[in-house]
């Protein structure tokens, strides 16, 4: 059973990408994955600052690294702000990728990213579904030595996509998300073998 981490680059209560993360987690569970949904709002992570880091890495950053490291496969749902990913997403990745000086595990600059299999999704009220955020996020994650799945899905007109229970209402949209989840699980099983 593949351990899959799912999170969205938004903490907004009614975020479309948090809804998409929840829907993709449900799909992954039906496919047999052991899913952890991470709410970034549950972590107390300040804006990245090297001076702050020099005085000690925040405890929730270590917790974030541990959660990420424990999962060989991830689904990342990225909102699009001004044609790119959010400041929250960048801040999360900056903290998680920064080595902790002198730490026996987190001093390694490759952890927790190297070798992780990632699927990228986005949701937006617009017709493109946040696609531009994925095109910016992809090279960032590849630079962190992640294996980013070629299949990606941008959910357009996402404000009308979910039912009251948070499920995708249109079969074609559900299949688009499922194709990404399936590829992540498939690749993770093969790359970790």
Interatomic CA distance for residues 101 and 123, integer angstroms: 37
The band of 38, judged by pLDDT with boundaries at 50, 70 and 90, is: very high
pLDDT digits (tens, 9 = 90+) for 18-32: 999 999 999 999 999
Q: Kindly report the pTM of this predicted structure.
A: 0.96
The pair phi, psi for residue 4, each rounded to 5°, is -120, 130
The predicted pLDDT at position 1 comes to 87
**Mean pLDDT, residues 140-156 taken together:** 97
Measure the CA angle with vertex 56, ends 9 and 61; round to 5°.
25
- The domain ranges of the chain are 3-191
109, pLDDT greater than 90:
no
pLDDT digits (tens, 9 = 90+) for 46-94: 999 999 999 999 999 999 999 999 999 999 999 999 999 999 999 999 9
The predicted pLDDT at position 192 comes to 81
154, pLDDT greater than 90:
yes
The predicted pLDDT at position 42 comes to 96
Interatomic CA distance for residues 85 and 31, integer angstroms: 28
Interatomic CA distance for residues 136 and 9, integer angstroms: 13
The domain 3-191 having CATH identifier 3.90.550.10: the answer here is: no
CA 104 to chain centre: 26
193, pLDDT greater than 70:
no
Interatomic CA distance for residues 190 and 156, integer angstroms: 31
């Amino acid at each position: 059973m593949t351990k899959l981490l799912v999170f969205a680059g938004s903490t907004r209560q009614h975020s479309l990408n948090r809804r998409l993360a929840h829907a993709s987690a449900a799909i992954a569970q039906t496919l047999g994955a052991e899913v952890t949904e991470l709410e970034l709002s549950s972590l107390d992570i300040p804006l990245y600052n090297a001076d702050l880091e020099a005085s000690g890495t925040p405890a929730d950053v270590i917790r974030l690294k541990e959660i990420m490291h424990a999962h060989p496969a991830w689904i990342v749902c990225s909102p699009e702000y001004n044609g790119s990913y959010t400041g929250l997403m960048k801040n999360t990745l900056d903290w998680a990728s920064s080595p902790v000086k002198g730490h026996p595990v987190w001093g390694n600059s490759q952890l927790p990213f190297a070798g992780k299999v990632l699927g990228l999704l986005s949701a937006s009220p617009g017709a493109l579904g946040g696609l531009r955020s994925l095109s910016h996020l992809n090279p960032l994650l590849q630079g962190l030595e992640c294996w980013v799945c070629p299949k990606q899905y941008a959910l357009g007109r996402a404000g009308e996509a979910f039912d009251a229970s948070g499920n995708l209402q249109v079969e074609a949209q559900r299949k688009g998300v499922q194709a990404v989840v399936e590829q992540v699980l498939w690749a993770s099983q093969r790359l970790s073998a």
